[in-house]
A and B are shown apart, each in its own frame.
Chain A
Amino acid sequence: MATPATPATPAPMGNTFDFGMDTISLSGSLEAKLAAIKAAGFTQVMLLARDLTGHPDGAEAAARAVRTSGLRVTGFQVLRDFEGLSGHLHQYKLDIARQMLELAASVGAKTMLVCSSTSVHASQDSDVLARDLRKLAMLAIPFGIRIAYEALSWGRTVDEFPQAWDLVCRADMPNLGLGFDSFHMFATNTSLDALEQVDAAKIFLVQLADFMWQETRTAEERITTARHYRVFPGEGVHSEDLSALVRRLHEMGYAGNYSFEVFNDDYAQLPQGFVAQRAMRAAQWLGEDVLRRSVPLPNEMRLRASAR
């Protein structure tokens, strides 16, 4: 992707209001991340539990920093390996889930992301998995938090979104829905047509990211790519697929938020402003070109990804 010589001007909020950045893409302190995200023109941020617990002045100070940043919290991540455990493992994970919910509530998060289990200790029985998700959703109700359940592409039982959707339907709780991550969908080559089964109102969060190669053949390859080599939408080789996905979600009536779930080792060692501006270019591309929210003025030059 070509890099503009001058920083991109923040787009009008109207075109990018539903796109947000993840703190995971940035280096530095929480305050510096929040400031860079805001300065790039974003109105929302996806937080990691570590953003709070790793704050040098403690989780309460971190929560204050978030609340005073003026950024809306897209969601809070991530609870892993929750469903399907029994006995003391289940009790342990319940304690973790409760702590995560309390942290999420402390920053005013209304959505918590839960990834499908990778644990070999977990049951593979759909009824057991659905029962645990139902319990987790119940724990979240008093806080007004919605649970977005996401299929990790290396999940043990659930590794594609149609399976996650099946569990969401089985569990049948109003505050339990789907977390949707484009990376995992592309990694497993899941057909976009499977979205036809899904109720748009039950998609609670969409995370978007691309990567630089066409195929990830093994679970190990997916894990390495997912954790180190993701790029912002428009920077990788799946731009057409991402466009089709976002347009499809829009046509289905999805009215929730999009967050850029970009784990990238390069971005994690570069200045926050540089990375946040790349994220904003992705938001502008999606908001203006893909969703065609506004037609750019004649002669307005904007540098775009060469991959498209």
Chain B
Amino acid sequence: MPATDTRELAAEFPNPLGLDGIEFVEYSTAKPQALGHVLELMGFRPVARHRSREVLLYRQGGINVIINGHEVPPAQESPQLVAVAFRVRDAAAAYRAVQERGAWPVPTRVEVMELNIPAIHGVGSSRIYFVDRYRDFSIYDVDFVPLPGVPRSAALPPELAGVHLFGVVQYIGAGRMADWCAFYGELFGFTVLPKQERFGILPKGEVLQSPCNQFYWQLVDSVSPDSSSDEHLQRLGLGVADVLAASNTLRARGVEFMESSHVHTEARGALTKSYLGGVMFELVHDERV
């Protein structure tokens, strides 16, 4: 590779990997059924099961959520958001390009006839996958078996009108904002939004916009000085056209929301209570579908 300043590259190619949204997010939990129940409350439905492992696929609209109950560390008490899969133009090329800039490859272990999805280390113990088969062909067709009686996704209207994956919220240690902005900026082409551009009801930290303009990555820094070991993906943001209608639908299904003087349901957004020791969802007003 010639000695080119990568910042110039980033300016020249604002979307260097051809990022095109999020293909799936993955939770790891020793209690997959309990988490599945929470996802179902949120309007997701189980649609498929992994061929060889205790892994389930849930779906709502275009959002794919994987619950991985396979080889969960014994010390892990609550479900953790452990992976996000980026859709990219060419997964192998993306995997090589980010390593060239200093990303850590994660060794993958696949069984016979399963897809080898390349991944790099993200925050904490999380991973970022690269998926390029999402148009004519689905990765789930290879690794997953549909659950009986589940219609094709197109025939499965979402519980929440217009729901889509708005973004991911990452908690970071004190003094780490610049590091993580550099990480997402340098590797994937995310840009930091101006402070006045905020969404939902929780505006803390910095909001990064994906180079494909399809989702956001919010970095929330800790106030505690010695907290770098507590960096993790904290929650998902679900974009909906009408937050109040969506929260009413979810309440009717049994979802509880935070209602305090600081954080409460309003037209801009809402935050569910924490389930199973740490799983929460944020609703964000966003008219895109």
B198 an interface residue at 8 Å Cβ cutoff? no
B122 an interface residue at 8 Å Cβ cutoff? yes
Contacts of B102 in A (CB 8 A): 134-139, 141
Give Cα distance in the complex from A175 to B187, angstroms.
15
Give Cα distance in the complex from A142 to B170, angstroms.
13
Segment of B88-96, B146-154, B177-185, B200-208 in the binding face: B177-185
Q: B123 contacts A142, CB within 8 Å?
A: yes
Q: B3 contacts A127, CB within 8 Å?
A: yes
Q: Nearest CB to that of A173 among chain B residues?
A: B182
Contacts of A173 in B (CB 8 A): 182
Give Cα distance in the complex from A127 to B228, angstroms.
31
Per-residue interface assignment for chain B, residues 73 to 97, with 1 indicating a CB less than 8 Å from any chain A CB and 0 otherwise = 0000000000000000000000000
A193 an interface residue at 8 Å Cβ cutoff? no
Q: A131 contacts B6, CB within 8 Å?
A: yes
Q: Nearest CB to that of B186 among chain A residues?
A: A138
Give Cα distance in the complex from A301 to B7, angstroms.
58
Q: B104 contacts A110, CB within 8 Å?
A: no
Known pairs A131-B3, A142-B122; A98 contacts B104 (CB<8 A): yes
Contacts of B7 in A (CB 8 A): 172
Nearest CB in chain A: distance from B151 CB, A: 40
Give Cα distance in the complex from A173 to B176, angstroms.
12
A122-147: which residues lie under 8 A (CB-CB) from chain B? 125, 127-128, 131, 134-139, 141-142, 144
Number of residue pairs A-B, CB distance < 8 angstroms: 53
A174 an interface residue at 8 Å Cβ cutoff? yes
Contacts of A139 in B (CB 8 A): 102-104
Nearest CB in chain A: distance from B169 CB, A: 18
Q: A174 contacts B179, CB within 8 Å?
A: yes
A166-180: which residues lie under 8 A (CB-CB) from chain B? 172-175
Contacts of B5 in A (CB 8 A): 127, 131
Kindly identify which residue among A128, A142, A144 contacts B121, using a CB–CB cutoff of 8 Å: A142
Q: How many residues of A contact B (CB 8 A)?
A: 19
Contacts of A136 in B (CB 8 A): 102
* Interface range for B: 20 to 34
B173 an interface residue at 8 Å Cβ cutoff? yes
Q: B182 contacts A174, CB within 8 Å?
A: yes
Per-residue interface assignment for chain A, residues 39 to 81, with 1 indicating a CB less than 8 Å from any chain B CB and 0 otherwise = 0000000000000000000000000000000000000000000
Give Cα distance in the complex from A125 to B228, angstroms.
35
Contacts of A142 in B (CB 8 A): 104, 121-123, 183
Contacts of A141 in B (CB 8 A): 102, 179-180, 182-183
Give Cα distance in the complex from A48 to B173, angstroms.
25
B23 an interface residue at 8 Å Cβ cutoff? no
Known pairs A131-B6, A144-B231; A138 contacts B182 (CB<8 A): yes
Contacts of A98 in B (CB 8 A): 104
Contacts of A125 in B (CB 8 A): 3
B101 an interface residue at 8 Å Cβ cutoff? yes
Per-residue interface assignment for chain A, residues 250 to 289, with 1 indicating a CB less than 8 Å from any chain B CB and 0 otherwise = 0000000000000000000000000000000000000000
Contacts of B173 in A (CB 8 A): 144
Give Cα distance in the complex from A136 to B186, angstroms.
13
Contacts of A137 in B (CB 8 A): 102
Give Cα distance in the complex from A172 to B100, angstroms.
17
Q: Nearest CB to that of A144 among chain B residues?
A: B228
Contacts of B179 in A (CB 8 A): 141, 144, 174-175
Q: A138 contacts B103, CB within 8 Å?
A: yes
Give Cα distance in the complex from A223 to B251, angstroms.
72
B77-135: which residues lie under 8 A (CB-CB) from chain A? 100-104, 121-123
Give Cα distance in the complex from A134 to B7, angstroms.
11
Per-residue interface assignment for chain B, residues 209 to 232, with 1 indicating a CB less than 8 Å from any chain A CB and 0 otherwise = 000000000000000000010010
Contacts of B123 in A (CB 8 A): 142
Q: Nearest CB to that of A143 among chain B residues?
A: B228
Q: List 28 A-B contacts (CB under 8 A).
A: A110-B228, A127-B3, A127-B4, A131-B3, A131-B6, A134-B6, A134-B102, A135-B102, A136-B102, A137-B102, A138-B102, A138-B182, A138-B183, A138-B186, A139-B102, A139-B103, A139-B104, A141-B102, A142-B104, A142-B121, A142-B122, A144-B173, A144-B176, A144-B179, A174-B178, A174-B181, A175-B178, A175-B179
Q: For the complex of A and B, list the 7 residue pairs with the smallest distance between their C-beta atoms, beginning with the closest.
A: A138-B102, A174-B178, A144-B228, A135-B102, A127-B3, A139-B102, A128-B3
